[in-house]
């Protein structure tokens, strides 16, 4: 079976992503902008379909959107149009492992959303859909995993 190539791809006007794929693993290094989240999610969903994992695409697509949006909102400097991030998706016994890392040295602040709050629901939503999630210390390679 043919494999996807590890080549740079334009995902938006100002954002690039380099994807690497092999059986059971997808890695993407990218410049995250608000406009890049949807195309990168589609790359991940395409990988899942290619690998026969289409049944997971909704949950993984949601997680990719949430984690990349969090990286863009919380790790990007105010004057910068994007933030560099890495996405790692791998098959593990009994499921999938998804990790998004960004350069922010701050540990994620997991908050509980009130009934009328607009933010603070993403990680709880991921945990309820995927069965888990965690954050690694800033000195570790991965920043936010779900």
Contact in structure between 56 and 64 (CB atoms under 8 Å): no
Position 142 scores a pLDDT of: 40
Residues of the chain with pLDDT under 50: 1-5, 7, 138-146
pLDDT recorded at residue 13:
57
> Per-residue b/e over 57-70, b at no fewer than 16 CB within 10 Å?
bebbbbbbbbbbeb
**DSSP 8-class letter at 54:** G
Longest alpha-carbon distance in the chain: 49
Please state whether the predicted TM-score (pTM) of the whole model is above 0.85: no
Q: pLDDT (tens digit, 9 = 90+) per residue, 55-72?
A: 999 999 999 999 999 899
């Amino acid at each position: 079976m043919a494999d996807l190539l590890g080549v740079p791809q334009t995902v938006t006007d100002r954002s690039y992503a380099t994807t690497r794929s092999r059986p059971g693993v997808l890695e993407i290094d990218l410049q995250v902008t608000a406009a890049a989240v949807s195309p990168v999610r589609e790359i991940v969903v395409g990988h899942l379909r290619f690998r026969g994992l289409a049944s997971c695409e909704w949950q993984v697509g949601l997680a990719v959107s949430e984690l990349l949006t969090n990286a863009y909102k919380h790790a990007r400097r105010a004057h910068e149009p994007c933030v560099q991030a890495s996405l790692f998706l791998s098959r593990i016994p009994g499921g999938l492992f998804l990790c998004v890392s960004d350069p922010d040295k701050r540990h994620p602040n997991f908050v509980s959303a009130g009934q009328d709050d607009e933010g603070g629901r993403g990680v709880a939503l991921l945990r309820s859909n995927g069965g888990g999630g965690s954050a690694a210390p800033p000195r570790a390679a991965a920043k936010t995993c779900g």
